[in-house]
Amino acid sequence: MIHLNWARLAIAAASIAAAGLSQATVVDLTGSNDSGTIAGAQFVFTDQQPTGTGVIDPFLRLQATPNEEGYNTSLATPAAPFDDKAGVWTHDVRYSDLQQSTVSIGGTQYFKLLLDINEPAGSKSLISLDSLQIYTSATAAPLVTDVSNLNSLGTLRYNIDAGGDSYVLLDAARNHGSGSGDMYAYIPVSNFAGTLADDYVYLYSRFGDQQTADATSEGGFEEWAIVRNVTPVPEMSALFPIVGLLVAIASTNILRRRKMAKVLG
């Protein structure tokens, strides 16, 4: 009897713990709020030209109305799964690609992704990011065309709905149109323990489910990109002495040739 009671207590404690952990979070990046955290990842509004801070490597384009979903795969051309847009901007990604985006925020390392949304101006400018899952796999995954088979993409490393049905609300009217970024997603590096440089990385996302908030997907495609860190290059001032010397040698040779030509002429 004592054992049974302990077992019951343990079960009750576990349910309370689980209920305590269950947390559906909404990060609203419309209006004036600029950031929020869901399941350890940070979602941050940006209206800056991202090309100023890093190199953008787009790897997934999605487009459909009133909602859309898909994941990055090189198999999208020609067999685009879900609402993927086939083409050079939807393709496989290796973990080494993701590693090039590593940034440190408050002592924690994150991979930095950029989401560029394209929604019509006016009453349809809102869009919701309802699902975001990132998988890694040692081998290239087979083509997945059913959400119930997403686990074929490998080991789940991040899930925006891990703590409850969460989403991010975005407003395309907050940015300056094509070419400017809309949101950075910072995914904790610690989620990827044991992943090898050559492993495949698959990002599945879904948009447009918040119909009551008028946040369905319309207009142009949504695009995910890796924000690759720029490797520092030598400044021109450091190169200038060499360039100056080469110019001096070249001009001296030209002068000599001209003088030679005059003499010969």
Q: Parallel, antiparallel, or unpaired: how do β-strands 55-62 and 167-171 relate?
A: unpaired
Positions 143 through 162 that interact with Ca ion (CB under 5 A): 161
Q: Are 115 and 44 in contact (CB under 8 A)?
A: no
How many chain residues interact with Ca ion (CB under 5 A)? 11
Minimum distance, C-beta of residue 147 to Ca ion, in the bound complex (Å)? 12
- Closer to Ca ion at the Cβ: 26 or 44? 26
Residues 6+ apart with CB under 8 A from 28: 36, 168, 169
Q: Does 224 bind Ca ion (CB under 5 A)?
A: no
In whole angstroms, the minimum distance from the beta carbon of 111 to Ca ion comes to: 20
Site for Ca ion contains 130 (CB under 5 A): yes
Q: Which stretch binds Ca ion (CB under 5 A): 9-17, 40-48, 124-132, 229-237?
A: 124-132
Q: CB-based burial of residue 145 (10 Å sphere; 0-12 exposed, 13-18 middle, 19+ buried)?
A: exposed
Residue 122 to residue 206: CA distance in whole angstroms: 22
Q: Is 119 in the site for Ca ion (CB under 5 A)?
A: yes
Among 38, 127, 201, 227, binds Ca ion (CB under 5 A): 127
Q: Which one, 67 or 195, has the nearer CB to Ca ion?
A: 67
Minimum CB distance to Ca ion, residue 191 (Å): 18
CA distances from 44 to 35, 101, 161, 168, 207 (A): 4, 16, 18, 10, 17
Detail the DSSP E strand segments found in 66-147. 68-71, 93-94, 103-105, 108-116, 126-137
Nearer to Ca ion, 95 or 167 (CB): 167
Question: Which residue ranges make up the site for Ca ion (CB under 5 A)?
Answer: 118-119, 124, 127, 130, 161, 165, 167, 217-219
